[in-house]
């Protein structure tokens, strides 16, 4: 089975696949493989679908988009989203540095993450980020101590763990009580009371994120209602909340998924906020995958076609170190030849050269291919390159962004020598 998702920016015409106006087969010739290819058009289209729900008919804004850059942190991707007006959701000091490098306004940055180091907290406070999302009571006290040392006040929100089942893969579920993320729902009120009394803490918001690749709006609404109930209780106690951070996690179509329409989904959430009487509250949305997932593909070349009595293997030059999702989550990605062939189709497992049985990219795919053909692994724009590694001393892929009929190399391919240039032996 090889189910093809609906895509913007990528299309098949007369037996060839294109990224906007550029042939994928030609990109493979020009830049080599493995190669990540991103469509600027697809990124912009997804962003505008969110933004359409964030603007009221009278032109006023009712929500702001903060891109969850862990999905894809290439500088070109970040810069395009910044140009569109996005802020950023960060989960590490490295992501903070990337956002600042492309000129992001510090007040457009929200620093999240369950295990922030003291150095990361200090950098965030010195930078003047909009907010630090607190995930535990010990972290709250550490932030207060560091802010006091720096002579600064720390703007914080608490990340609420609402104990809502997002009905997604357990590895990417974050809103259940047995997940490591956030403050347990029954502890949130007392933690806010504690935070309000700390000398160098400014309570500014409340945050909730329940998981990733969610294709049903019901868990979002359940979590939202629980968080709005908390805001009501906090206001009664004189603890004012200035912004509500709804997180991200909306899924995409990998081929057989049916996520809600982005604009309709966003309207559903924002309308619920207004129906509950919080229309004047600043709302933050933090989409990641749904902005970039279907805006990228991974190109790879067929090295060998290995036939067997039980299985046929299509061995390609991309591997689990290039795209980890299939090995990690048993995730599905559609795989298509970039050019049609006259050979008879066969059923293959598409596998890589890494020395692991888990190194597969697609199972039981009907493909008409020959050795030397270039395949496109679709829907690879999110959690693709950012999760790549150098396992087996393999350099990470190059990255290209397409704008109309032009291809721009936005990250050079790693060379093998660059992988060990900072290593030392004892005998030199």
* Residues acting as catalytic residues: 355
What are the residues whose beta carbons fall under 8 Å from the beta carbon of 130, sequence distance 6 or more?
87, 106, 107, 108, 109, 110, 155
C-alpha gyration radius of the chain = 23
CA 336 centroid distance within chain: 23
Q: State which H helix or E strand residue 37 sits in.
A: strand 35-39
Return the closest-CA partner of residue 162 out of 203, 220, 122: 220
Determine the Cα–Cα distance for residues 183 and 208; give it in Å rounded to an integer: 10
- Which residue spans within 175-239 are E strands per DSSP? 183-184, 201-208
Integer CA distances (angstroms), 193 to 203, 205, 226, 247, in order: 10, 13, 18, 23
Helices marked H in 112-199? 118-127, 137-150, 188-197
- CB burial of 246-257 (b: ≥16 within 10 Å; e: otherwise) equals bbbbbbbbbbee
Determine the Cα–Cα distance for residues 347 and 334; give it in Å rounded to an integer: 14
Residue owning tokens 């802010």: 147
């Amino acid at each position: 089975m090889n189910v093809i998702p609906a895509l913007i920016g990528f299309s098949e015409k007369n037996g060839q696949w294109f990224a906007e106006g550029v042939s994928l087969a030609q990109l493979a010739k020009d830049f080599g493989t493995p190669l990540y290819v991103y469509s600027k058009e697809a990124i912009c289209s997804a962003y505008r679908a969110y933004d359409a729900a964030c603007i009221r008919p009278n032109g006023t804004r009712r929500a702001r988009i903060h891109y969850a850059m862990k999905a894809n942190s290439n500088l070109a991707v970040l810069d395009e989203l910044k140009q569109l007006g996005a802020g950023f959701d960060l989960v590490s000091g490295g992501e903070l540095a990337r956002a600042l490098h492309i000129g992001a306004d510090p007040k457009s940055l929200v620093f999240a993450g369950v295990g922030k180091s003291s150095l990361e907290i200090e950098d965030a406070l010195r930078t003047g980020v909009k907010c630090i999302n607190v995930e535990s009571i010990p972290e709250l006290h550490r932030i207060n101590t560091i802010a006091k040392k720096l002579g600064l006040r720390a703007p914080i929100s608490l990340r609420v763990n609402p104990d809502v089942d997002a009905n997604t893969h357990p590895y990417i579920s974050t809103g259940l009580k047995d997940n490591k993320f956030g403050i347990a729902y029954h502890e949130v009120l007392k933690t806010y009371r504690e935070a309000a009394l700390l000398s160098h803490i400014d309570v500014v918001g409340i945050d909730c994120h329940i998981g990733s690749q969610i294709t049903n709006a019901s868990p979002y609404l359940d979590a939202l209602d629980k968080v709005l109930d908390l805001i009501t209780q906090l206001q009664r106690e004189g603890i004012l909340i200035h912004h509500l951070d709804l997180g991200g996690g909306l899924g995409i179509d990998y081929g057989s998924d049916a996520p809600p329409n982005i604009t309709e989904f966003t309207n559903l959430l924002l309308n619920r906020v207004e129906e509950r009487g919080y229309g004047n509250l600043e709302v933050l949305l933090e989409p990641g995958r749904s902005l970039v997932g279907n805006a990228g593909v991974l190109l790879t070349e067929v090295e060998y076609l290995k036939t067997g009595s039980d299985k046929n293997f299509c061995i390609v030059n991309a591997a689990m170190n290039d795209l980890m999702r299939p090995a990690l989550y048993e995730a599905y990605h559609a795989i298509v030849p970039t050019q049609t062939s006259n050979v008879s189709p066969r059923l293959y497992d598409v596998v890589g050269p890494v020395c692991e049985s888990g190194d597969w990219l697609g199972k039981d795919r009907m493909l008409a291919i020959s050795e030397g053909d270039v395949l496109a692994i679709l829907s690879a724009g999110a959690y693709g390159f950012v999760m790549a590694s150098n396992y087996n001393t393999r350099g990470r892929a190059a990255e290209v962004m397409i704008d109309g009929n032009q291809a721009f190399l936005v990250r050079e391919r790693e060379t093998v020598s660059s992988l060990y240039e900072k290593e030392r032996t004892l005998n030199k």
